[in-house]
Chains A and B, each alone.
Chain A
Amino acid sequence: MWSVSDDALVAGLAAGDQDAASAFVGRFQRRVFGLARTIVSDDRAAEDIAQEAFVRAWKHAGAYDARRGSVVGWLLTITRNLSIDAVRVRRPIAFDPYVLLELDAQSDERLPEDLAQLSDDTTRLRAALTQLPEEQCRAVVLAGLLGYTAREVGEMEGIPLGTAKTRIRTALIRLRAALVTEGHDS
């Protein structure tokens, strides 16, 4: 029924359109809930966070700017920030980025047109992540996805702060190279 673009759905949200809201939630709920669950490791808390993320998106849809990024990127950033706030006080975790992100898994499900392009980016990024040295992969996932500070990454990994910062920086540079050099420099 709703084959409209992600941008159009957000425009519908901004206008207070209930049908657009329903389609928006239906389209993104698995991604939003999946990200929240990945970060907080608790289904009930993840659902609360996912719900709040949709409420925030609904309230601030008018401020969304397509020039600054995709709809799903915007929505997942909201979700990530809410999730990190929810687990602000936490202990070091037993952590395997390959298990956490299911880096070996393949998904062949059909996606809406806008997400298909993003899925290509995600596929490239996922592949690039698996090619990083394990310590860089761990550092960038801890900091970039789970929200640990460089100091916390250093403490968890048992390395000096400077080494943690270097691992994070190097990983980001390599991941960006994978995004840009494979025909996606925008």
Chain B
Amino acid sequence: MNCAEARDLAPELALGILGGAGRAEVILHVNGCARCQANVAEFTEVADALPMLAPEAEPSAGFEDRVLAALDAPKRSNRRRWISAIAVAAAAAAIVSITLVRVAESGDTARTAAPARSATPVVATMIGGASGQPAGWVSVAESRAVTVAVDYGIPVGTYRIQVRPERGDVATLGAMNVDPSGRGFWAGNSDLPLRTGTTIALIDDSGEVMCHGTLGNPQ
């Protein structure tokens, strides 16, 4: 994508109305181009102000009490459920890995998934964060060019970007810094081709998966 194409899509990026693949391509360009970054920032300034134009309205009686009751639930309960889900997934992955090692040791040839090779990037939503909600996205173009971005719900910090193939060894691609607003971006190449079914995950210092996305079929 060049500057003219990025600027054509800048208003839609700022308004949050671009689809996954288009959004990934624009962000990839904008993050490496200061002029386009400034262009998007100008549109974003207005885009962020537009929701304030909606007229205020009074919710029904008892709304505040219902909200406060919802907030009263343990703040990290979802996180615990998320950790539990990851633990189950990790256990399942471990079983799969052990099985595959035994298959490999026995000389069998495992069937492999197709590489995520496509002119159009393969995009997956990163799920996780404190609430188990969409936290960002991962894009893979030509099976090796990886872009990861998060913009919601991930605490400030530095995270390893880990590749977890359906079959094969876990590998680390690099590290991403997430700023205090929950935003982070990383782009680079994978040494090995990434296949459909591969999971990309952000891992914190303690080894916990903060969010992850699994590559599906090319879009």
B179–A65 touching, CB < 8 Å? yes
Could you tell me the distance between the alpha carbons of A168 and B15 in the complex, rounded to whole angstroms? Answer: 10
Contact in complex: A144, B42 (CB < 8 Å): no
List chain B residues, Cβ under 8 A from A51.
63, 66-67, 70
A16 CA to B15 CA, complexed, in Å:
31
User: A176–B50 contact, CB under 8 A?
Assistant: no
CB <8 Å contact, B48 and A77: yes
Q: Is chain A's interface secondary structure helix, strand, loop, or mixed overall?
A: helix
A7 to B56, CA, bound (A): 21
Q: With A63-B155, A149-B12, A169-B11 as given contacts, are A140 and B63 in contact (CB-CB < 8 Å)?
A: no
Residues of chain A in range 65-89 having any CB-CB distance to chain B below 8 Å: 65, 67-69, 72-73, 76-77, 79-81, 84
Bound-state CA distance A18–B57 (Å) is 24
Give Cα A102 to B48, complex, Å: 19
Identify the closest chain B residue to A14 (Cβ).
B75
Judging by beta carbons under 8 Å apart, are B182 and A60 in contact?
A: yes
**CB nearest to B49 among chain A residues:** A125
**What residue in chain B is nearest A53 (Cβ atoms)?**
B67
A168 touches B11 (CB 8 A): yes
Cβ-closest chain B residue relative to A69 = B48
B: residues with CB less than 8 A from A are: 8, 11-12, 14-19, 42-43, 45-60, 63-64, 66-68, 70-72, 75, 78, 129-131, 133, 152-156, 179-182
List the interface of chain A (C-beta within 8 A of B): 16, 18, 21-22, 25-26, 29-31, 33-35, 37-39, 43, 46-47, 50-51, 54-56, 58-60, 62-65, 67-69, 72-73, 76-77, 79-81, 84, 101-102, 105, 107, 118, 121-122, 125-126, 129, 140-141, 143-145, 147-150, 165, 168-169, 172, 175-176, 179
